[in-house]
């Protein structure tokens, strides 16, 4: 789909289709966090043991994103997009009927496979539909509806877990998914499959096996029933497989995950610096609901009410994102935000049952604002200098990095709580965990300090 071939009225509706998929994906990424203690209680396990239900979803997203570009060429964007939503719905149904942690992990994995296909395909369509000068505005437009998912997710998850049944947090995907399929068939062009070439099966096995082993190793940290040698073997074995993939990808014409966009300096900084930032960001959506419920003794509904404010703060940022980027540029945004996000995360260590309601809400709202500004700036910076022929590869690399870093954040948060407090963390354990997590966004400043003030100006408009 190109700008020339897409009629203007139709092009304006393209972000709505993408937003529908992102809404469902992001809703499910946050709605489960608030309900984890209730799900664990129903299944008779520790809430921290269900961190695998979160990371399995994020990991399967990362694993199958490299397939999306090849599958889109081979079968067409509309077919892959629709099939992906259907897979997501099937995974939701499996989760809704799960009776134990393993069933939940299987369902979340199926959801991740569907999400891995629909989000990157949507981004590819978006990138091919808008020129660079309009790209940030288009991304802002499409992410505003998508951000409703993370905003509503904690509140809806807390409401359903408290007043209904946690299984409904998965069944709510059914009407949203049906709407997404209908919109895709009505608004996407019936693009014909093209010669996609042979899929890089060896590369997929190397990078997929490497990511899976590495994440499994991270998940075992702090779990006393598993030997340290097993954990280290998985982590270093995964890293070795990923190193082999880098070697392999340089020897073939069409690797499963094309790493060539990393040669572009702005893209490389957005991915590397963004990975560090997102590991820290990935911790907080997992930590905060557990902190409120296990650390402060709040109900799932009360917890969801607090974390809902983060989504509202993120939504309010989208109104000013484009003007703010034009005013100060990406370098200043990313460096200053690293300090601000780290400082706010440290403020979480001061929260207790006596902290005034409005202080918590204001802090969480500001956190959502600056967190979302960092996300939007990183996404836009990554594509600022990419040539059109690298757009699809860049979208895949960026998406894999995003999902993997968030999964690492969840695994890190669970590992810290397990190491500090075993299976039953108290308020002090949460405070130490927040203090450690706060260092990550601050560390990213080292990467962004190497940027030039004019980097990304093709998208931000800064200095023009």
* Residue 397 forms part of a structural domain: yes
Q: Final residue of a domain: which of 255, 270, 297?
A: 255
Q: Which positions ≥6 away from 126 have C-beta within 8 Å?
A: 14, 15, 18, 138, 139, 142
Tokens, residue 303:
């917890």
pLDDT, residue 350, reads 92
Largest CA distance in the chain: 63
Residue 12 pLDDT level (bands cut at 50, 70, 90): low
- Separation CA 244–CA 241 (nearest Å): 5
Mean pLDDT for 176-189 is 78
Measured CA distances, 72 to 20, 22, 144, 378 (Å)? 19, 18, 25, 25
* Residue 3 forms part of a structural domain: no
157 within 8 A of 311, measured Cβ to Cβ: no
- Separation CA 95–CA 338 (nearest Å): 36
Highest averaged pLDDT of the listed ranges 208-217, 265-274, 342-351, 371-380: 342-351
* Residue 2 forms part of a structural domain: no
pLDDT, residue 189, reads 66
Considering the domain architecture, whether residues 228 and 322 belong to the same structural domain is answered as no
pLDDT tens profile 374-430: 888 887 787 777 787 777 778 778 878 887 888 888 888 888 888 887 767 888 999
pLDDT, residue 225, reads 66
* Domains in the chain, number: 2
Residue 433 pLDDT level (bands cut at 50, 70, 90): very high
Residue 190 pLDDT level (bands cut at 50, 70, 90): low
pLDDT, residue 9, reads 56
Q: Final residue of a domain: which of 255, 277, 296?
A: 255
pLDDT, residue 192, reads 64
Is the pLDDT score of 302 beyond 90?
Answer: no
Is the pLDDT score of 8 beyond 90?
Answer: no
140 within 8 A of 18, measured Cβ to Cβ: no
Domain of residue 234 covers: 200-255
Considering the domain architecture, whether residues 217 and 156 belong to the same structural domain is answered as no
Count of all residues that appear for the chain in the document: 464
- Separation CA 50–CA 363 (nearest Å): 28
Considering the domain architecture, whether residues 182 and 246 belong to the same structural domain is answered as no
The answer to which of 84-98, 129-143, 232-246 has the lowest mean pLDDT is 129-143
Mean of all residue pLDDT scores within the chain: 81
Considering the domain architecture, whether residues 244 and 299 belong to the same structural domain is answered as no
Mean pLDDT for 359-387 is 84
Could you tell me the CATH number of the domain that includes residue 391?
Answer: 1.20.1250.20
pLDDT tens profile 202-220: 998 998 899 888 888 887 7
* Residue 411 forms part of a structural domain: yes
Considering the domain architecture, whether residues 142 and 37 belong to the same structural domain is answered as yes
- Separation CA 427–CA 143 (nearest Å): 34
Considering the domain architecture, whether residues 360 and 392 belong to the same structural domain is answered as yes
Highest averaged pLDDT of the listed ranges 88-92, 278-282, 443-447: 88-92
The closest of 400, 395, 284, 323 to 140, measured between CA atoms, is 323
For residue 290, the number of C-alpha atoms closer than 13 Å in the C-beta half-sphere is: 31
456: left (phi over 0), alpha (psi -120 to 50) or beta: left
pLDDT, residue 245, reads 93
Is the pLDDT score of 241 beyond 90?
Answer: yes
Considering the domain architecture, whether residues 162 and 226 belong to the same structural domain is answered as no
* Residue 294 forms part of a structural domain: yes
pTM (2 d.p.): 0.79
Considering the domain architecture, whether residues 297 and 215 belong to the same structural domain is answered as no
Considering the domain architecture, whether residues 278 and 247 belong to the same structural domain is answered as no
Considering the domain architecture, whether residues 147 and 262 belong to the same structural domain is answered as yes
The answer to which of 144-153, 275-284, 404-413 has the lowest mean pLDDT is 144-153
Q: Final residue of a domain: which of 255, 270, 298?
A: 255
Considering the domain architecture, whether residues 343 and 406 belong to the same structural domain is answered as yes
Is the pLDDT score of 94 beyond 90?
Answer: yes
Considering the domain architecture, whether residues 401 and 266 belong to the same structural domain is answered as yes
Highest averaged pLDDT of the listed ranges 139-143, 423-427, 442-446: 442-446
* Residue 437 forms part of a structural domain: yes
Is the pLDDT score of 2 beyond 50?
Answer: no
């Amino acid at each position: 789909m190109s700008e020339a071939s897409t009629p203007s009225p139709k092009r304006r509706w393209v972000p709505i289709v993408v937003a529908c998929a992102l809404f469902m994906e992001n809703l499910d990424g946050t709605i489960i966090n608030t309900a984890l203690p209730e799900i664990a209680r129903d299944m008779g396990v520790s809430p921290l043991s269900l961190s695998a239900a979160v990371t399995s979803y994020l990991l399967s997203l990362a694993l199958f994103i490299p397939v999306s570009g090849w599958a889109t060429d081979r079968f067409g964007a509309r077919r892959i997009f629709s099939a992906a939503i259907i897979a997501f719905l099937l995974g939701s149904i499996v989760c809704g009927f799960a009776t134990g942690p393993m069933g939940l992990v299987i369902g979340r994995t199926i959801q991740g496979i569907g999400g891995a296909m629909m989000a990157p395909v949507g981004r590819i369509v978006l990138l091919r539909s808008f020129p660079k000068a309009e790209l940030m505005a288009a991304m802002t437009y499409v992410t505003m509806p998508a951000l409703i998912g993370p905003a509503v997710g904690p509140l809806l998850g807390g409401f359903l877990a408290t007043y209904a049944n946690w299984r409904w947090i998965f069944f709510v995907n059914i009407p949203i998914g049906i709407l997404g399929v209908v919109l895709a068939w009505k608004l996407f062009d019936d693009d014909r499959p093209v010669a996609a070439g042979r899929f890089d099966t060896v590369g997929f096995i190397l990078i997929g096996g490497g990511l899976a082993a590495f994440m499994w190793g991270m998940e075992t940290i702090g779990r006393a029933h598993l030997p340290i040698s097993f954990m280290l073997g998985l982590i270093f074995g995964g890293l070795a497989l990923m190193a082999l993939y880098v070697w392999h990808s340089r020897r073939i014409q069409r690797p499963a995950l094309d790493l060539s966009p990393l040669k572009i300096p702005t893209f490389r900084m957005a991915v590397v610096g963004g990975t560090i930032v997102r590991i820290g960001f990935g911790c907080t959506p997992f930590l905060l609901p557990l902190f409120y419920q296990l650390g402060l003794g709040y109900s799932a509904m009360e917890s969801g009410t607090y974390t809902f404010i983060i989504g509202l703060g993120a939504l309010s940022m989208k109104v000013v994102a484009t003007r703010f980027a034009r005013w100060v540029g990406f370098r200043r945004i990313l460096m200053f935000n690293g300090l601000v996000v780290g400082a706010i995360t440290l403020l979480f260590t001061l929260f207790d049952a006596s902290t005034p309601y409005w202080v918590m809400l204001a802090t969480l709202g500001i956190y959502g604002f600056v967190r979302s500004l960092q996300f939007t700036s990183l996404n836009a910076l990554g594509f600022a200098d990419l040539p059109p022929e690298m757009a699809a590869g860049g979208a895949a690399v960026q998406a894999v990095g995003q999902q993997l870093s968030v999964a690492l954040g969840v695994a890190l948060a669970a590992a810290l709580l397990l190491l500090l407090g075993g299976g039953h963390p108290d308020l002090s354990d949460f405070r130490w965990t927040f203090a450690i997590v706060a260092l990550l966004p601050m560390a990213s400043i080292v990467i962004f300090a190497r940027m030039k003030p004019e980097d990304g100006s093709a998208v931000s408009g800064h200095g023009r």
